[in-house]
Chains A and B, each alone.
Chain A
Amino acid sequence: MSTATYAIRLGDDCLILGQRLCEWAARAPELEEDVALLNIALDQLGAARTLLTYGGSFDGRDEDTLAFLRDEREFTNALLMELDNGDFGRTMARQLLVAAYQLPLWEALSSSADETLAGIAGKAVKEVAYHLDHASSWVIRLGDGTHESHTRMQVGLDEVWPYAFELFEVDAVLEDLVRAGVAADPSVLEQAWLATVSGVVKEATLELPSSDWRPTGGRAGRHTETFGYLLAELQHVHRSHPGASW
């Protein structure tokens, strides 16, 4: 796997999560949450733009070509990013799992041997610290809340949990990039991730899910049923009005 593929994978993760989070616009439980979720979505979109611009630069595709003109099977985001939002608890569970992964990811990539990836990560790491703080405080508040909020927080966590492990998958070529000091080592990320998530889950009086089901396929372009609908919304204006500007 080349650096380009790696950058596009990371960029797809950010793009698709950002798009999914936008569905909370005008639907969050309170106005401050609308603002918070869309700010997080904007940070993800910002990271996506630089990552896709960089990943596409190797073969001359720009960020718009990658975001708007690829089909479902060409997207390499992890399945976790595309899952339906579900209720607010489930969205917060996913935010916790993602932020607890992206924080050590961007930290590690800040000193990547690839200077562009290091620059992108150096900016993103400051932003994801806010995302982790936001998700953690909600998971704790809902988990350690009423019977209803506790139950729904646990259900949300149980539902998204199995999808997190795709983030730590290794293949031979990723190993090469890790050895070259370009990519972050997934096994190191997983340890840091689990330590963060376990701490929050415990404080929230929740249980770490015990399921050993490990759905996968996103990196190879095999996506869940709802992904096509997300892409349709993301891409239809660009495809309906090619080259439009204003």
Chain B
Amino acid sequence: MTVADVRAALAEVCDPEIPVLTIEDLGILRDVSVAGGQVVVTITPTYSGCPAMEEIRSDITAVLHRHGWQDVSVAMVLSPAWTTDWMTAEGRSKLEAYGIAPPRRTGPVDVVLGGLACPQCRSRDTEQLSRFSSTSCKSMWRCRSCREPFDHFKDH
């Protein structure tokens, strides 16, 4: 039983709100350690109040139990604070295919609003309707070309 085995099993744990993303895609899986039959999985929350964290915590335990690891604990760390820069390239592609515009890279300069590509028709003639949407991590947009509303995973 190795760390790689545990990580492979954890690929089954997805975000309950955005089921195309695994916790690794999302960048919240911070560490896996295996010592003497005991598995410790360390995760970090996305937003402080995100209710999905409770689900993810119990899903991790359930999946690892199913794979035969009985002694499992899930640790939560706050620091360093999660950023969407930790989302994997694969995660970004999956999000876009799912119809959610992926986060752009954050950095020393402020992200310029507008010009986000519509995940339906690729037009950049889009506008933000609200900085808040159905979950903490998303904002609400619409495309002026194809007229479809869409969510954007906020740059955070």
Closest chain A CB from B66 CB (angstroms): 23
Please measure, in the bound complex, the distance between the C-alpha atom of A45 and the C-alpha atom of B130, giving whole angstroms.
Answer: 21
Contacts of B77 in A (CB 8 A): 119
- Determine whether the beta carbon of A32 is less than 8 Å from that of B47: no
Q: Which of B4-12, B18-26, B78-86, B116-124 is the contact stretch? A: B78-86
Within 8 A of B (CB), among A111-133: 115-116, 118-120, 122-124, 126-127, 130, 133
Closest chain A CB from B63 CB (angstroms): 22
Contacts of B48 in A (CB 8 A): 43, 46-47, 49-50, 120, 123-124, 127
Contacts of B82 in A (CB 8 A): 123
- Determine whether the beta carbon of A36 is less than 8 Å from that of B78: no
Contacts of B131 in A (CB 8 A): 36, 130, 133-134
* CB closest residue in chain B, given A126: B156
Partner of A115, one of B79, B129, B136, B140: B79
* CB closest residue in chain B, given A32: B130
CB of A39 closer than 8 Å to a CB of B: yes
Q: Which of A46, A116, A130 has the most CB of B within 10 A?
A: A46
Partner of B81, one of A36, A46, A126: A126
- Determine whether the beta carbon of B136 is less than 8 Å from that of A42: yes
- Determine whether the beta carbon of B80 is less than 8 Å from that of A122: yes
